Amino acid sequence: MSPLDTNAVPVGPAIEPAEFSARRRQLMEAIGNDGVAIIPSSIEQTRNSDVHYPFRQDSDFRYLTGFNEPDALAVLAPGHADGEFHLFCRPRDREREIWDGLRAGPEGVVSNYGADQGHTLDAIDTVLPKLLRGRSKVVHTLGLSSAWDQRVLGWVNTLRAASRRGPAAPEAIVSLGATLHEQRLIKSAGELEMMAHAGRVSAEAHCRAMRVCQPGMTEYQIAAEIHHSFAMARMEPAYGTIVGGGANACILHYVENSAVLADGDLLLIDAGAEYDGYCADITRSFPVNGRFSGEQRAIYDLVLAAQLASIDAARAGQRHQDDVHMASVKTLTRGLVDLGLLTGDVDALIEDEAYKTYFMHGTGHWLGMDVHDVGAYYDDGNSRQLEPGMVLTVEPGLYVAEGTPGADERFWNIGVRIEDDVVVTDGEPRVLTADVPKHADEIEALMAG
Ligand code: GLY
Ligand code: MN
Ligand code: MN
C-alpha cells in the first residue's frame, strides 16, 4: 500500500512485496548485466484550470514497483555495484504534503518499496550517467514521453562524449515492451486473485443494474448504480462505462449515457471495475422491461451460443484468432443465415467476411493491468497459441443498426454483446466474471426479482 493509501481500509487481495521483487528479478534476468532499464511513472494530467484528472499510474511502472505516486522514475541496473533498483521520487515536503497528501520520499521508497537506493528527482542527471556507464544497451520505450526521450538521449550523448576517456557509451536503445509485456501477459496466482476480485465486484454491479432497470429510467442513472457498486468496494471504472439502450446499443463506443430507456428496447452495458491497477471488462445485454421479445431473444441466444463456443476454445494450445475468434465467426454466420439476416453459402459468407455487417469487431483482447492489455497477438505472423496464465476477454456481438441493407426491420436497433473475462489454464477455461447471469431465462428471472 502506498503512503497515499494509508487511510484506505483493506478490502481485498494485494500483491505482496516479494512478488514485486520477483517481477524485477525476472525482468533483470531478461535484460542481462549489459543493460539498464529506465521506466518513468505517469505524471498528473490537467483537466481544466488547476484541476487534475484522477491520477492513474503507468501500468509498467506500477507492475514493477507498486509505487503509486506521480513524478517518479524507476531504474533497474542488473548486477550494479551501487544497487540494482533505483527509485527517483518527489522529495518529502511538509507544506506540499499538507496540501496534496503524504509522499514516500527517498527514504520511504527504500523502506516501503524495496528500492536499493532512493533519490530525489533532482539527482537524476548525476546518478543516471553513473548507472549507464559501461552498459551497452538502454531499455527504454521511446515515443511515450518526448521529455523522457530527450533526457535519455542526453545521458547517452554525455557518455558518448566522454567515451574516449572511459568506458563505451550504450549503443542500443531497445523497447521495454518487448520483454516486459510478454512477462505481464502471463498472470501470477496473485494477479489472478486481484482480477477475480475486480470481476466479482463488476459482476455484482451488472446484477444490480439488471435488478433496478425499468422503462423511464435513464442510461446515466443505470451508470450511477454501477459506479456506486464499484466505489463501495474502493474501485473505479477501468474504462468509460457504456450504457446504451435501443439504437444506442448499436453504437460500439457509445459513452454519452444520456437517453431515457424505453419499454421494449434492449440495453447494452459494458462496464468493468479496476481494483488496485487490475481490470475487469464485462458486457451484458438485457431487455429494459425484463422480457426479451422473440427477435431480441433470437439474436441474444445466437450471440450467447457464439460466446460459449469461443470460451470453450480458450484453451492452452488453441490460437487466439484462428480458434477463439473463428468459433464465434462460424457460429454467428450460421445463425445469421438461419435468421435470414444473411443469405448464401455459410463457408463463402465466412470467406467474404459478410458477417462484418453485424459483427464488426474482434472476439476479445488480453486483459490485465490495462483493459486492452499488453502482449503480442501474433507470433511469427501466425495467430498466437494460448498458454496457461493468459487472461482474455471473450466478447462476440451482433448489432443490427436501423436501415442495415438486407436486415428485416423487425431486427432493427437490436444490439447484443456478451463479454466475460477468461483465464487460460491447464484444463477448463476459468471464467472470472461468471457471477452475473447470461442465459436469457436467468436474466429474466433476476429481473423479475
Ligand atoms: N470495454 C472495452 C472493450 O470491451 O474492449
Ligand atoms: Mn473488452
Ligand atoms: Mn468491454
Residue 237 in this model has a pLDDT that exceeds 80: yes
Whether the CB of 281 sits within 6 Å of ligand 1: yes
Residue 171 phi/psi, 5-degree rounding, is -95, -30
Tell me the per-residue pLDDT of 56-74, one tens digit each, with 9 for 90 and over: 999 999 999 999 999 999 9
- Residues 14/275, Cβ–Cβ less than 8 Å: no
* Confidence at residue 5, expressed as pLDDT on a 0 to 100 scale: 54
Q: Which atom of ligand 1 is nearest to the CA of 242?
A: 1
- Res. 1 pLDDT band, cuts 50 70 90: very low
Show the cell assigned to 416: 447484443
Tell me the per-residue pLDDT of 355-385, one tens digit each, with 9 for 90 and over: 999 999 999 999 999 999 999 999 989 999 9
Show the cell assigned to 91: 522529495
- Residue 276 among the catalytic residues: no
Q: What is the pTM of this model?
A: 0.96
Q: What residues have a C-beta under 5 A from ligand 2, the ion?
A: 281, 393
- For the domain with range 17-183, which CATH number is right: 3.40.50.2300, 3.40.350.10, 3.30.450.20, 3.40.1280.10? 3.40.350.10
Measured in Å, residue 136 CA sits from the centre of ligand 2 at 39
Distance, in Å, from the CA atom of 214 to the CA atom of 323, rounded to the nearest integer, reads 38
Q: Which atom of ligand 1 is nearest to the CA of 239?
A: 1
Homologous superfamily of 186-448: Creatinase/methionine aminopeptidase superfamily (3.90.230.10)
- Res. 218 pLDDT band, cuts 50 70 90: very high
Whether the CB of 395 sits within 6 Å of ligand 1: yes
Measured in Å, residue 365 CA sits from the centre of ligand 2 at 6
Q: What is the amino acid identity at position 315?
A: R
* Confidence at residue 8, expressed as pLDDT on a 0 to 100 scale: 57
Residue 264 in this model has a pLDDT that exceeds 90: yes
Tell me the per-residue pLDDT of 18-32, one tens digit each, with 9 for 90 and over: 999 999 999 999 999
* Confidence at residue 166, expressed as pLDDT on a 0 to 100 scale: 80
Show the cell assigned to 370: 490495462
* Confidence at residue 10, expressed as pLDDT on a 0 to 100 scale: 58
Q: How many residues does the chain have?
A: 449
Whether the CB of 268 sits within 6 Å of ligand 1: no
- Residues 198/162, Cβ–Cβ less than 8 Å: no
From the candidates 197, 325, 334, 365, which is the catalytic residue?
Answer: 365
Residues with Cβ within 8 Å of residue 49, at least 6 apart in sequence: none
Residue 170 in this model has a pLDDT that exceeds 50: yes
Whether the CB of 148 sits within 6 Å of ligand 1: no
Mean pLDDT over the full length of the chain: 96
Mean per-residue pLDDT for 421-435?
A: 98
Percent of the chain with pLDDT over 70: 98
From atom 5 of ligand 1, which residue's Cα is the shortest distance away? 372
* Confidence at residue 7, expressed as pLDDT on a 0 to 100 scale: 56
Measured in Å, residue 419 CA sits from the centre of ligand 2 at 7
Indicate left, alpha or beta for 366 from its phi (over 0: left) and psi (-120 to 50: alpha). beta
Nearest to 274, CA basis, from 370, 208, 386 = 370
Residue 286 in this model has a pLDDT that exceeds 50: yes
Mean per-residue pLDDT for 94-119?
A: 97
Residue 11 in this model has a pLDDT that exceeds 90: no
Mean per-residue pLDDT for 305-319?
A: 98
The residues that bridge with 267 in the sheet, in sequence order, are 245, 286
Measured in Å, residue 366 CA sits from the centre of ligand 2 at 8
Angle of helix 294-313 versus helix 326-338 axis, rounded to 10:
160
Q: Which atom of ligand 1 is nearest to the CA of 417?
A: 4
Mean per-residue pLDDT for 88-92?
A: 98
* Confidence at residue 9, expressed as pLDDT on a 0 to 100 scale: 60
Residues with Cβ within 8 Å of residue 270, at least 6 apart in sequence: 241, 242, 281, 282, 283, 417, 419
Whether the CB of 265 sits within 6 Å of ligand 1: no
- Residues 431/203, Cβ–Cβ less than 8 Å: no
Angle of helix 219-232 versus helix 189-212 axis, rounded to 10:
140
Residues with Cβ within 8 Å of residue 176, at least 6 apart in sequence: 37, 39, 60, 139, 140, 141
Show the cell assigned to 316: 492452452
Measured in Å, residue 105 CA sits from the centre of ligand 1 at 37
Mean per-residue pLDDT for 12-19?
A: 96
- The ranges assigned to domains in the chain are 17-183, 186-448
Residue with cell string 542527471:
125
Q: Which atom of ligand 1 is nearest to the CA of 419?
A: 4
Q: Which residues of 363-377 are buried (b: 16+ CB within 10 A; e: fewer)?
A: bbbbbbbbbebbbee
- Residues 156/170, Cβ–Cβ less than 8 Å: yes
Ligand 1 pocket test target in 226, 270, 284, 391 with most atoms within 8 Å of CB: 270
Whether the CB of 55 sits within 6 Å of ligand 1: no
Whether the CB of 412 sits within 6 Å of ligand 1: no
* Confidence at residue 6, expressed as pLDDT on a 0 to 100 scale: 52
Mean per-residue pLDDT for 404-410?
A: 97
Residue 3 in this model has a pLDDT that exceeds 70: no
Pairing of strands 242-245, 236-237: unpaired
Nearest to 400, CA basis, from 251, 242, 290 = 251
Distance, in Å, from the CA atom of 113 to the CA atom of 20, rounded to the nearest integer, reads 9
Lowest mean pLDDT segment, chosen from 6-10, 177-181, 330-334: 6-10
Tell me the per-residue pLDDT of 121-168, one tens digit each, with 9 for 90 and over: 999 999 999 999 999 999 999 999 999 999 999 999 999 888 888 888
Whether the CB of 69 sits within 6 Å of ligand 1: no
